[in-house]
Homo-oligomer: A and B are copies of this chain.
């Protein structure tokens, strides 16, 4: 069953992350052209353009799929644009997979790109007591609040320390040093992190990821098509989970100020549900995973994800970190790309960037950050409003 649902990754491309201040279309076209070149597929042969949307940039930002189809040259392809906050890229990838598996197309371009405004995100002006995003800022609850609550919970429950969180940053910074697409390529030590200002206790500025400009693109095809163009051994996508939460959702999620009430039905973890569905779909288990790219919006959140991915028992992620298991060279590297720590988040591109990294790793093209013998990679991310994803790529 699971093998029938595989699709092939023929090519990947990125525009380096940064704060370039240019139009997102330019980044996306660069990434798309690189992915096309990497795949050997001609733009005219792309039958479906699957865009990941961003909510910024006014109108044009909304229409990623069609915008890139126009910029690359209208050629009559089918198009779709997915919006799912941080999971937009995975949903766009899932849309392309469905189009391929249904036989509606053989080869598709999946693309996400963003130009981010400077400074912290903040809500639209106006008085909107019905909008939870407005309400929480009105009473003083910002984005870092949520990440900090999860981080502090780890300290209280599992005995994690600020030093553990700093080590996540140090590890990921080390990974990203040689990544040409990373925005930050600088090594840090524990003293550097400890010297960075506290933002939301226990998280310091260096524990929290920035927002960046960037773009990622992927050419995917049916396994038959891959064979036909001489790429029978291309990495395969074995699972894409984009499940919604199950009521009652156990964690208080941005932008809410309360969880669901679990009086009528039991509370459920959304983050844990995402990879569970992916493993089931791929027909493999956590024991098969060689490496993971997870959404380290904060350093501490990387530890949560490691447990949600069932790569260790609940509460043991810091132990793995301390033992060096999760660094490149360890048994199970996490965020070999450098993660959000080195990239900063470019919302609609980020989930695709994770898959680009897995592709390079599984092909053995990751250079100094190469994970030896990488066979199976998994991604995880989560965004606003019940959006999240987990993708499994295998060699």
A contacts, CB < 8 Å to B: 4-5, 23, 49, 53, 55, 58-60, 62-63, 65-67, 69-70, 73-85, 91, 94-95, 97-104, 124, 128, 130-131, 133, 241-247, 249, 260, 273, 384-387
Q: Knowing A80-B84, A84-B80 touch, does A58 contact B124 (C-beta < 8 A)? A: yes
Pick from B74, B81, B246: contact of A75, CB below 8 A.
B246
In the complex, what's the smallest C-beta–C-beta distance from A266 to chain B, in angstroms?
13
> Could you tell me the distance between the alpha carbons of A81 and B94 in the complex, rounded to whole angstroms?
12
Q: Known pairs A63-B84, A69-B386, A70-B244; list 5 more (Cβ under 8 Å).
A: A59-B131, A59-B384, A59-B385, A66-B386, A79-B386
In the complex, what's the smallest C-beta–C-beta distance from A255 to chain B, in angstroms?
8
> Could you tell me the distance between the alpha carbons of A77 and B245 in the complex, rounded to whole angstroms?
8
Pick from B55, B102, B386: contact of A62, CB below 8 A.
B55
> Could you tell me the distance between the alpha carbons of A342 and B247 in the complex, rounded to whole angstroms?
39
In the complex, what's the smallest C-beta–C-beta distance from A44 to chain B, in angstroms?
10
Give the interface SS of chain A, mostly helix, strand, loop or mixed.
mixed
Q: Which residues in B have their C-beta under 8 angstroms from that of A4? A: 103
In the complex, what's the smallest C-beta–C-beta distance from A83 to chain B, in angstroms?
5
Whether the Cβ atoms of B63 and A80 lie closer than 8 Å is no
Q: Which residues in B have their C-beta under 8 angstroms from that of A242? A: 78-80
In the complex, what's the smallest C-beta–C-beta distance from A271 to chain B, in angstroms?
13
Q: Which residues in B have their C-beta under 8 angstroms from that of A133? A: 58-59
The 8 listed contacts between A and B (C-beta, < 8 Å) are A49-B244, A53-B53, A69-B244, A75-B247, A76-B244, A79-B243, A101-B103, A102-B102
Q: Which residues in B have their C-beta under 8 angstroms from that of A5? A: 102-104
> Could you tell me the distance between the alpha carbons of A242 and B50 in the complex, rounded to whole angstroms?
12
> Could you tell me the distance between the alpha carbons of A235 and B99 in the complex, rounded to whole angstroms?
22
Pick from B58, B245, B384: contact of A63, CB below 8 A.
B384
Q: Which residues in B have their C-beta under 8 angstroms from that of A98? A: 95, 98-99, 101-102, 104
> Residue on B with the closest CB to A99?
B98
Whether the Cβ atoms of B59 and A84 lie closer than 8 Å is no
In the complex, what's the smallest C-beta–C-beta distance from A317 to chain B, in angstroms?
25
Whether the Cβ atoms of A244 and B77 lie closer than 8 Å is yes
Q: Which residues in B have their C-beta under 8 angstroms from that of A131? A: 58-60
Whether the Cβ atoms of B73 and A81 lie closer than 8 Å is no
Whether the Cβ atoms of A91 and B97 lie closer than 8 Å is no
Pick from B59, B102, B247: contact of A55, CB below 8 A.
B59
Q: Which residues in B have their C-beta under 8 angstroms from that of A63? A: 83-85, 384-385, 387
> Could you tell me the distance between the alpha carbons of A104 and B100 in the complex, rounded to whole angstroms?
12
> Could you tell me the distance between the alpha carbons of A2 and B246 in the complex, rounded to whole angstroms?
36
> Residue on B with the closest CB to A63?
B385
> Could you tell me the distance between the alpha carbons of A212 and B267 in the complex, rounded to whole angstroms?
39
In the complex, what's the smallest C-beta–C-beta distance from A21 to chain B, in angstroms?
13
Q: Which residues in B have their C-beta under 8 angstroms from that of A67? A: 385
Q: Knowing A63-B385, A85-B63 touch, does A74 contact B104 (C-beta < 8 A)? A: no
Q: Knowing A59-B131, A83-B81, A384-B59 touch, does A104 contact B104 (C-beta < 8 A)? A: no
